[in-house]
Structure 1
Amino acid sequence: MSKSATKGVLLVQLGTPNAPTTPEVRKYLTEFLMDPRVIDIPVVGRTLLVKAAIVPRRAPKSAATYRTIWDEKTGSPLMYYSELQRDLLQAELGDDYHVELAMRYQNPSIASALKKMEGMLLESIRVIPLFPQYASATSGSVIDKVMETMRSWQYFPALSFVSNYCDDEQMCETYADHAKKFDIDYYDHILFSYHGLPVRQLGKVDPTGNLTCPDAGCDSCKVEKNSFCYLSQCYATSRMIAGKLNLSPDRYTVCFQSRLGKTPWIQPYTSDTLHHLAQQGVKKLLVFSPAFVADCIETLDEIQVEYANEFKDLGGEEVAMVESLNGDPKWINVLKRLAQG
């Protein structure tokens, strides 16, 4: 931290348990799923669903998954790479800036990071949610929490937020560079698998109050109708990465993982896509997860273990995963540009 810093940058990632134990995972899942922007139903129903059904069932299983990938020295991959991104960005920005990292859920908390920044009397704070595509349940929740936390401040620096950067060309080029470490032609098909959302949440970002999305996934939505449509932003990211790799539309599929509950979520589901591709005789898959800018345990396990096993059971042979942005210098340069506005 530089004593001369006048500008602040707050990077905010989703979060990770403090330890790969059932009690710590239970705390993390409870805070995460009780967020009304994540499970957007009335508080009584949300409490019953989360605390009586989902968390008791998922916490032990998730803790076991965390233990398979957790590193004794560096902890979870998400924390390791998020801290690396913070440190690399600080080095790039120099002494005029002070960069903090926070997790939306668990530690380091947004409140603790902002407390440090409050005492520095910074002239400005730039908040960058580490989610390329905007969703109320991710970037929206981060922005909401920052504003709630700063409500008690007695002075306000110039405050700004980066809403999304789904079609940032250099970011997409970095994803493509990571894919080029593989022999693209070796794979029969490419998947762009994003975290899912309930369909009802798509319509809620429509300022006209339309709670349905009749054109879900249309290519023109982001430009012509609603620039905050998460689904359309996922397609925008995928198209740009595919363009960098010269992939024709028939060579890749956009799909969505991590369903929760029985309500309709964005489709096509990744699991259903695996079944469809296996039926077509596809044997080798290369998978991107461009909703994340750092490798995280949940996604690594879901794609490299759960989906890989499912695909092999269906007759597939191989599922490979493209590394996330992590500490790539090109990605740090994107963060620098976003931080400088």
Structure 2
Amino acid sequence: MNSPTPATSARRIGVLLVNLGTPDSPQTGDVRRYLNEFLTDVRVIDNLPAVVHYPLFQGIVVPLRAPKSAKIYQQLWTERGSPLLFHGLDLQQKVQAALGPEYVVAFGMRYQNPSIAKALEELREAAVDRIIVLPLFPQYAAASTGSVQEKVMQIVSKWWIVPSISFISAFSDDPGFIATIVALGQREMARHQYDHVVFSYHGIPERHITKGSYHNYCQFGSCCDTLNEKNRYCYRAQCFDTSRRVAAGLGLSPDQYTVSFQSRLGRDPWLKPYTDILLKDFPAKGIKNVLAFSPAFVADCLETTIEVGEEFKEMFEEAGGEHWQLVPSLNSEPQWVEAVAAMIRRN
């Protein structure tokens, strides 16, 4: 007589969405804790030995920077708290609904709360069969995506049972990602006539590019004119590729848009051109109305709402500009939710 087939429960796939991080509150103490964790990450500040790095940043840089940053975070904070956090939680809930019960979607931050460790524990408690990790950074950079991947691997390396884990390392050319940006841009362009479009990306030190360059392929020039097997994970090349794709969707010619970089820190050379310097020259060239995108960010945050939306606007107007408009981030737009769900399904 044949033995009965044992009953098996449906296997579920775990999904971990991760963004950079945010203070728990805009108070100086919480901002200091956030900055301390962020700026002591050796993938962020990679050019100092530990004996210099930690005392310098923990003892001098962070204590001096925290009160100033806290004032900026107070401008950013809303009734729901930090936009980066609540947009991330909204995205988590909507992606969960889009994927259905066969998936378990968790959300974590690389720095502070909710932590990656907490989010991974949620997936382990759910007994998922495998885990797909999606760092919410469209263009790969060692200081963002790479840091998330390293942290995940550090955590799961201590588990006794480690399930299959895969990473979506970049989605700078994902059709759904591009289409959502285009749709948001078209919405703004229908409201106002613009002379020029700026794609402002978070900058990284040039050394981060050269350290990851394939056989010294990256030369900070025409090497980024196409995205190919040699520069597939070059942050600069991905930024230009994203811009070309969005510009094509908006019907822009190459002379109608500019790619630039923001948020530099320290004295070492970062990716150029610098947005804050570039925009000051626009009015003299007859560019008085600018539409600005921040395609390195999928959720509104300090670098988009405050830096691009307010500080750059003020600089542009002081230089003689008339209208500077920031296109909102993807946040939890329905089209973006479906794009994320589609990426997960494909993986």
Does the alignment reach a TM-score above 0.5? yes
Letter in 1 for 2:122: K
Q: Report the alpha carbon displacement of residue 56 of structure 1 after superposing the two structures with TM.
A: 2.3
What are the superposed Cα offsets for residues 251-304 of structure 1, whole Å, 9 maximum, x if unpaired?
Answer: 100000001000000000001211232331321111000001111133210012
Contact 2:218 / 2:231 at 8 angstroms: preserved in 1? Answer: no
Aligned residue in 1 for 2:201: 194
Which structure's CA Rg is the greater one? 2
**CA–CA separation in structure 1 for the residues paired with 2:326 and 2:225:** 29
Whether 1:262 and 2:262 are equivalent positions in the alignment is no
Q: Residue 275 of structure 1 corresponds to which residue in structure 2? A: 280
The amino acid of 2:325's aligned partner reads A
Shift of 1:206: 2.4
1:117 has 2:127 as partner: no
Corresponding residue number in structure 1 for 2:6: none
The answer as to whether partners of 2:281 and 2:319 remain within 8 angstroms in 1 is: no
Deviates more, 1:54-63 or 1:34-43: 54-63
Partner of 1:25: 31
> Residue 186 of structure 1 aligns to a residue in which SS?
coil
Contact 1:216 1:231 in 2 (8 A): no
Q: How many residues align?
A: 336
Tell me the equivalent position of 2:5: none
Does 1:6 pair with 2:12?
Answer: yes
Q: State the one-letter code of the partner of 1:158.
A: S
- For normalisation by structure 2, the TM-score amounts to 0.93
* Partner AA of 2:206 in structure 1: V
What CA deviation, in whole Å up to 9, does each residue of 1:158-213 have, x standing for no partner? Answer: 110001010112211111111111236711111000000000000111254x4x83
- Contact kept? 1:284, 1:317, Cα under 8 Å: yes
1:301 and 2:312 matched: no
Q: Which segments of 5 or more consecutive residues in structure 2 lack a partner in the other structure?
A: 1-8
- Of the three residues 44, 50, 57, the one matched with 2:51 is 44
- TM-score by length of structure 1 reads 0.94
Rounded to whole Å, the distance in 2 between the matches of 1:329 and 1:118 is: 28
Q: Name the aligned partner's letter for residue 64 of structure 2.
A: R
Q: How does 1:144-223 map to 2 (within 5 A)?
A: 144-183=150-189, 186-208=193-215, 210=216, 213-216=218-221, 218-220=223-225, 222-223=227-228
SS at match of 2:237: helix
The question of whether the paired residues in 1 share the 8 Å contact of 2:214 and 2:230 is answered with: no
Tell me which residue corresponds to 1:226.
231
In structure 2, distance between residues paired with 1:94 and 1:270: 41
Deviation at 1:314, TM superposition (A): 1.1
The one-letter code matched in structure 2 to 1:57 is: L
Matched, 1:71 2:88: no
Q: Equivalents in 1 of 2:101, 2:61: separation in Å?
A: 45
Alpha-carbon separation, structure 1, partners of 2:50 and 2:221: 28
1:288 paired residue among 289, 293, 301: 293
Amino acid at match of 1:31: E
One-letter identity of the residue aligned with 1:59: A
Gaps of 5+ in 1: none
Distance 1:172 1:186 in 2: 22
Shift of 1:333: 1.1
In the alignment, is the contact (CA less than 8 A) between 2:224 and 2:236 conserved in 1? no
**Contact 1:5-1:95 at 8 Å conserved across structures:** no
Which residue does the alignment assign to 1:251? 256
Task: Tell me, in whole angstroms, the C-alpha distance in 2 between the residues paired with 1:32 and 1:57.
Answer: 15
Contact 2:11–2:129 (CA<8 Å) still a contact in 1? no
User: What is the CA–CA distance in structure 2 between the aligned matches of 1:30 and 1:4, rounded to whole Å?
Assistant: 42
**Which residue of structure 2 lines up, in the alignment, with residue 89 of structure 1?**
95
Seen in structure 2, the aligned counterparts of structure 1 residues 28 and 5 have a Cα distance that, compared at 3 Å, is: farther
Question: 2:238 aligned with 1:238, yes or no?
Answer: no
- How far apart in 2 are the matches of 1:141 and 1:90? 25
Q: Distance in 1 between matches of 2:35 and 2:286?
A: 38
CA contact (8 A) 1:192 1:252 kept: yes
Paired with 1:5 and 1:82, the residues of 2 have a C-alpha distance of 26
Residue 172 of structure 2 contacts residue 242 of structure 2 at CA under 8 Å; is this kept in 1? Answer: yes
Among all aligned residue pairs of Structure 1 and Structure 2, give the percentage whose two residues are the same amino acid.
46
Residue by residue, what CA displacement relative to the aligned partner does 1:59-102 show, whole Å, maximum 9, x if unpaired? 11211111122123x10111111001000000011111100000
User: Which letter maps to 1:338?
Assistant: M
Distance 1:193 1:215 in 2: 17
Name the residue aligned to 2:140.
134
Deviations 1:206-226, CA, capped at 9 Å, x for gaps: 254x4x832446334521522
Matched, 1:322 2:342: no
